[in-house]
Amino acid sequence: MLILASASPRRHELLAQAGFSFQIHPAHIPEDPLPDEDPIVYVTRLAREKAQAVFDELGDPEAVVLGADTTVTLDNHILGKPEDPGDAARMLRLLSGRTHRVITGVAVVTATRAEVAAEVTAVRFLTLSDEEITAYIVTSEPMDKAGAYAIQGRAARWIPRIEGCYFNVVGLPLALVATLLESVNA
């Protein structure tokens, strides 16, 4: 049985949309980056730690646990979830008129192995006015999102182009997930 080690409604929706049968068992681990930790190392470490924690909690040797973690980076600096509306505004001003990277680490843990990988997508933002940023923050949409925006929500109007996997930016690169699941089941 596939277990999703995440409480993210977006990951749940994407996995269901792709036709996977699974249960949800969120992981509860600290998510702070280590000092000077590379963003790809950071998200793959968290994905593996989440999947391993849930696998260990379940105690079921037949379980296949999927963990994931997504971050936004600009100039190799991690932009996590905003702490408050002011932090969300700061992040959106940083992203305005620039291209940033969205990185998702994915891990699949079973009793006999762990497969870990990352997906990277470049996202271009239009230049945002202070009024647009303020109006967006009032919707509360950016408050639980890495980088303070949701590509599948209102922020879509500011993204003229991406290079890479759209689903990665939403929070779960489905083709990568399918590849990792196939490799552990082979």
User: How many of the other CB atoms lie within 10 Å of CB of 52?
Assistant: 18
Helices 130-138 & 85-95 angle (0-180, nearest 10): 140
Please list the alpha-helical segments (H only) found in the chain: 9-17, 39-58, 85-95, 130-138, 166-170, 174-185
Scan for tokens 């590849």, then name that residue.
Answer: 179
CA-nearest of 147, 159, 153 to 89 is 147
Cβ–Cβ < 8 Å for 68, 106: yes
CA-nearest of 112, 138, 103 to 33 is 103
- For residues 77, 81, 85, 91, the Cα torsion angle rounded to the nearest 10 degrees is 20
Residues forming the active site:
69
